[in-house]
Homo-oligomer: A and B are copies of this chain.
């Protein structure tokens, strides 16, 4: 089933609102086996809407979904414009107007005359109920396509997709798609592509994509055969190193860490320098992290490394705060200071200043300590300050992950 989405709203084009409706609908419908083939964002403007409809009906999608422009104010023109475009007459729905008046009354709000437009209904098609808002939706068949018109308020739109659109799509007998994901870190997109590309060439019924971000590269697979998707997943897993695969579901690194640490009953503490608290922040995004996360020190200024964390003054003088030696002592001392099972340390130069020929901007050392061992890894990142911080946090959490499962 081919689907096109029309997002209507000046606030989207001006960038003042991020179009999360579109990605939500995309994920929802892709999960039902639909292909979203095209999406447009247009202004709250009659000619923009009509021109977009001209183009899109020519593409003959099975389904068109519009969001936005069904509110009560004067810039909400979607309903009237589309009905005119389709030569549909509308009438005032007295019984819905009574319902609306009651709802507003119960909320203690006086209903405005501007809301009367929301009681208009077409003389054909289906009216889609909106139990949590005043703007109802519409489902109209035109040429070879169905057009479903929904409000832009995310909670209302999602409700109507879940309650109405999902059932409509399922009734069309769309063939189910199976999906799978392998989340990797520490390898570049091109390296992964070279390692795994041949698998995809051999399995053309498996649609794949590589999605890089600071966190690493996600490999997504999709196809109609569950067996094939499982096989491709298995083949890719066999080629890549366990160290590079941190997740085989949509779970992110911090969720994986918290799950593993709970399972293995390991208490964690961290000493962060250049990441400034980001690693602690990421871990504490996860509900239940308090079971395994003790806390830590943000030793941003060197004198705190010595004063509160007890890193040897001579170490800092001889090797510097950004050094293998400092990272090792930081990891060991965070363990001692907090009585945790695992200590993670990070020291580095996020940039843009602070680099030297010896230790350029982006140089980071990660230390991992437990009762019986400690080790340090070094890496040089080449991005800007914020991305260097993110990449450093991901590398550090991945080292911690490997330590937990060792």
Contact = CB atoms under 8 A, between A and B. Distances in A.
B16 A209 contact: yes
Give the oligomeric copy count. Answer: 2
A176 interface: no
A299 B294 CA distance: 7
Interface string A22-34: 1111111110000
Interface string A9-23: 011111111111011
Given A39-B41, A112-B188, A308-B337, A277 B287 contact: no
A372 interface: no
B72 A193 contact: yes
Interface string A265-276: 000001011111
Interface string A377-406: 001111111110100000000000000000
Interface string A105-118: 01111111111000
A37 interface: yes
Contacts of A137: none
A73 interface: yes
Contacts of A274: 284
B72 A190 contact: yes
Contact of A15 (B14, B26, B382): B26
A191 interface: yes
Given A23-B12, A71-B212, A114-B194, A300 B304 contact: no
A283 B76 CA distance: 34
A285 to B, nearest CB: 6
A298 B276 contact: no
A19 B18 CA distance: 7
B293 A384 contact: no
Contacts of A10: 209
Contacts of A48: 37-38
A2 B295 CA distance: 51
Contact of A301 (B17, B74, B293): B293
Interface in A23-68: 23-30, 36-43, 48, 55
A189 interface: yes
Interface in A245-259: none
A19 B19 contact: yes
B275 A298 contact: no
Nearest to A360: B106
Contacts of A112: 188, 190-191, 193-194
A263 interface: no
Contacts of A111: 190
A210 interface: yes
B277 A220 contact: no
Contacts of A13: 26, 36-39
25 contacts: A10-B209, A11-B211, A13-B39, A14-B26, A14-B30, A15-B24, A15-B25, A15-B26, A15-B36, A19-B22, A37-B43, A37-B48, A40-B40, A72-B189, A108-B380, A112-B191, A155-B386, A278-B281, A280-B280, A290-B301, A290-B354, A295-B297, A297-B308, A298-B298, A307-B338
Given A15-B22, A73-B190, A278-B284, 15 more contacts: A15-B36, A18-B20, A38-B41, A71-B189, A72-B193, A74-B193, A75-B209, A112-B190, A270-B298, A276-B284, A276-B293, A280-B300, A284-B389, A295-B300, A308-B308
Interface of A: 10-20, 22-30, 36-43, 48, 55, 71-75, 103, 106-115, 132, 153, 155, 188-191, 193-194, 197, 209-212, 218, 220, 270, 272-281, 283-285, 287-290, 293-301, 303-304, 307-308, 337-339, 350-354, 379-387, 389
